[in-house]
Structure 1
Amino acid sequence: DWPIYPKGMFDQLSRIKNHYKWDKEVYITENGMGCKDKFLKDEQTVEDDERIDYLKKHMEEVAKAIEAGVNIRGYFVWSLQDMFSWTNGYSKRYGLFYVDFETQKRYPKKSAYWYKEVSETKKV
């Protein structure tokens, strides 16, 4: 429900480097989005293409920032698994792994498999 502007990632990282003359290491410690995920019981997963699209576009902007000389050393997805949000409670899901809050079982979402491939190939 919030505006999504992936280029803002590049803009801010570039601003830190250029405006503040920052050449030290930068770690992006939390980047992701909440979605109203629907668990597909038969497949035991969530088709969360909008999360994949979000992450892909933001990672592309991070890659551009690295090419522009920003000293980025880490990028962490928000979050590994679904959790309680102070803003949205449990109405939105945030993680790469779907949590069945009743049974506490975890199921990898489509985005988890996508992120695994990105991590292994180093290609967005």
Structure 2
Amino acid sequence: MWVALQAAPATAGAGPSVPTGLWVALGGSLLAVLVLLVLWVRAWQARRRLEREARVLHHELVAQRAEATARINKLERALRQAVEDPEAVRQRLEDLLPTAPYVPPPASPSVHPLPPPVHPPPPDA
């Protein structure tokens, strides 16, 4: 019985000591900080990538807008000229059009007449 009483306090207090628990807590905190740091770096990289793509798209949009504006201005000038002097526009179009009459190309051999209908028409009653 004396042996059982001596062994009881030693086994009852078994478990991690305070310094071991402190190391576990510090390790967990360090791991959490590292995870947050990795997430922050990835978010920063994604933000930079999106900003770069946005700049490229913006430059493309500006170029397309400039091209569209040039086209619109050209069409406005042509329309203004057509309103002011329609005879000059008609003459220019006649100069651009071919003088020979239009001859349609021959039908290609791959063109066949329409096939007969799948269902014949109903007989007259």
> Shared fold by TM > 0.5?
no
Higher strand share: 1
- Flag the structure with larger Rg: 2
Q: TM-score, normalised by structure 1?
A: 0.21
Q: Which has the higher contact order (CA 8 A, sep 6+)?
A: 1
State the TM-score, normalizing by the size of structure 2: 0.21
